[in-house]
Amino acid sequence: MTTSKENLDETPFQTAGPFLHIGCMPNAIKIEKLYQNDLGETPFKNKNESELITIEGSVFDGNGFALDDVMLETWQCDENGEFREESGFARFIPNNLTKKFILKTVKPGSFKGFDGKIHSPYISLSISSRGLNMTLNTRIYFEGDELKNDPLLSIIKNCNENSLIAKKISKHSYLFDIFLQGEEETIFLDI
Amino acid sequence: MSVKSLIRRNYNKQPELDFPDYKSSIFRAPKNKKISFPSSDSEILGPIFNKNIIGELDNNLTLNFSKNKKSPLGHKIIVYGTVSDQFSNPIEGALIEIWQANSAGKYLHDKDKNSAPIDPNFAGCGRCLTTSRGYYEFLTIQPGPYPYPNRGIEWRPMHIHFSIFGKSFGQRLITQMYFEGDPLLKHCPMVNSIADEKAKKSLIGALDTSRSNTQNLLAYKFNIVLRGIKQTYFENRREGL
Ligand SMILES: [Fe+2]
């Protein structure tokens, strides 16, 4: 870490393509014996079912088709609002029949950031796939939480901010659909 | 007290998301401008990955899927380089995952409709963590070029897909490495979605003749740069300095 001027350009992105599973989640496509587990199968180990929430949804393209060749990655703090480096990361794909993804995780806590501000609970989400020349980034906030003073939500008041808020379906389950294009286009972030 | 922030991404040196020459981007690339905001803890603090996830053969694609120690078809190559940040600091413990076609240009994947043969001894999947100097290395097979449906049939230049995690979610990168001298490079819409020539060139692995001539394989060097993180101190609350 330094405060001087950077001297190199970031390496450019390229699309992850349709075969990303080979490198990122080989077990999910039955390349089995290479890695014991796919990375990010469970964001937090040793949690009881009762401590977990589910977030379910689909990723829709501009034709309204739910995609099954996208890879989603999430990164979050724990229930106490702490980022724990080796826990909190998850990687998953939609089911190829239902086209829905399901994330089971702990609901993140709110936290006081190094900016000194209180951040509402959220999960960072990235989306990579064929047709996306760069990985997309967004966030999942939660309906029912105090969201008014969140530093990010408070600067995006004039667009489709509801696209960042998962709808509460029951006590422990939420719905979060992602729209790549169209009237309901999800807000994507220049993180 | 200090605030950490990622160096703003320079989109002039990144691919265009909405790039109709690459047909699949037409109905997938979002149309609205992305929202910029100051980095918060989630973009800076992790994830990082533990050494114990990496198996002994994970960076050797010539052996990690071979049956009875049979070699995959094709010629062996070494792909190596460093992962650093924009200030040239090496990044230790960066996770690199790669995937690629076999020497015939075929992926071990149900959705690959190319008629080329699969290789029973090659999965095309590898990973490693960088060393304290940010160094990584893979032993693999030269991937073949392959046809795919775009505007009619088009051919991908030879490439290896790379996924990289540095120390921060905001440093996350997914890209492809190409090969010096490949005649298909200039025809590839995915490559050409990057307008900046220097940026485009930075994705081309350079043939390392000195290493190639001393080992029984061709060596390619591909250095990767992830975003830098700036730390700004507040004078009035400076602590411990
Ligand atoms: Fe590919």
pLDDT value at A91 more than 90: yes
Domain annotation covers residue A13: no
Instruction: Report the complex ipTM.
Output: 0.95
Rounded to 5 degrees, φ, ψ at B11 are -70, -15
Report pLDDT for B10.
Answer: 96
Report pLDDT for B103.
Answer: 98
- Split at pLDDT 50, 70, 90, the class of B237 is low
Report pLDDT for B1.
Answer: 64
- Split at pLDDT 50, 70, 90, the class of A89 is very high
State the average pLDDT over residues B179-206: 98
Domain annotation covers residue A164: yes
The A residues from 44 to 103 touching B (CB cutoff 8 Å) are 61-63, 67, 69, 73, 75-77, 83-86, 88-89
Whether B24 sits inside 8 A of A131 (CB atoms) is yes
Going from the N-terminus, what domains does chain B have, and what CATH number goes with each? 2-233 (2.60.130.10)
Domain annotation covers residue A188: no
E strands within A48-170? Answer: 52-57, 59-60, 70-75, 89-92, 101-106, 111-112, 118-119, 122-129, 136-142, 165-170
Report pLDDT for A3.
Answer: 53
For residue B22, what is the nearest residue in chain A, using CA coordinates?
A: A131
Q: How far apart are CA A137 and CA A74, in angstroms?
A: 10
Angle at A61 between CA A125 and CA A151, to 5 degrees: 35
Residue among A12, A36, A115 whose CB faces B199 most closely: A12
Structural domains of chain A, count: 1
Facing residues of A122 across strands? A141
Report pLDDT for B9.
Answer: 96
State the average pLDDT over residues A104-118: 95
Q: How far apart are CA A113 and CA A95, in angstroms?
A: 35
Report pLDDT for B232.
Answer: 79
Report pLDDT for B241.
Answer: 43
CB B226 within 8 A of CB B85: yes
- How much distance in Å is there from the Cα of A69 to the middle of ligand 1? 14
Place of tokens 């240009």: B105
Residue B103 amino acid letter = S
Pure H helices in chain A: 21-24
pLDDT value at A92 more than 60: yes
- Residues of B labelled catalytic: 107, 146, 156, 159, 161
Q: Residues B32-57: pLDDT tens digits?
A: 999 999 999 999 999 999 999 999 99
Q: Which chain B residues are within 8 Å of A77, Cβ to Cβ?
A: 41-42
How high is the mean pLDDT of chain A?
A: 94
Domain annotation covers residue A15: no
| Residues of chain A by 3-state class (helix, strand, coil), percent to 5 | 10, 30, 60
Task: Give the 3-state DSSP-derived string for chain B, with helices as H, strands as E and coil as C.
Answer: CEEEEECCCCHHHCECCCCCCCHHHCCCCCCCCCEECCCCHHHHCECCCCHHHCCCCCCECCCCCCCCCCCCCCCEEEEEEEEEECCCCECCCCEEEEECCCCCCCCCCCCCCCCCCCCCCCCCEEEEECCCCCEEEEEEECCCCEEEEECEEEEECCEEEEEEECCEHHHCEEEEEEECCCCCHHHCHHHHCECCHHHHHCCEEEECHHHHHHCCCEEEECCEEECCEEEEECHHHCCCC
The two structure tokens encoding residue A41: 């199968």
pLDDT value at B144 more than 90: yes
C-alpha distances out from residue B192 to A172, B98, B173, Å: 45, 22, 18
Domain residues for A35?
21-179
How high is the mean pLDDT of chain B?
A: 94
Place of tokens 């009875």: B68
CATH number (domain holding residue A167):
2.60.130.10
State the average pLDDT over residues A156-166: 85
What is the rounded end-to-end Cα distance, in angstroms, of chain A?
18
Q: Residues B73-97: pLDDT tens digits?
A: 999 999 999 999 999 999 999 999 9
Domain annotation covers residue A80: yes
Report pLDDT for B213.
Answer: 78
Domain annotation covers residue A184: no
State the average pLDDT over residues A47-57: 94
pLDDT value at A64 more than 60: yes
Report pLDDT for B236.
Answer: 55
Q: How far apart are CA B145 and CA B142, in angstroms?
A: 10
Nearby residues for ligand 1 (ion, Cβ within 5 Å): A 17
Residue A84 amino acid letter = R
- Split at pLDDT 50, 70, 90, the class of A124 is very high
Whether B9 sits inside 8 A of A75 (CB atoms) is no
Residue A130 DSSP code? T
The B residues from 176 to 195 touching A (CB cutoff 8 Å) are 176, 190-191, 193-194
Domain annotation covers residue A4: no
Q: How far apart are CA A162 and CA B170, in angstroms?
A: 23
Report pLDDT for B212.
Answer: 81
pLDDT value at B238 more than 60: no
Q: How far apart are CA B109 and CA B97, in angstroms?
A: 17
Q: How far apart are CA B162 and CA B99, in angstroms?
A: 7
Domain annotation covers residue A14: no
- For residue B217, the tally of other CB atoms under 10 A from its CB is 15
Report pLDDT for A76.
Answer: 98
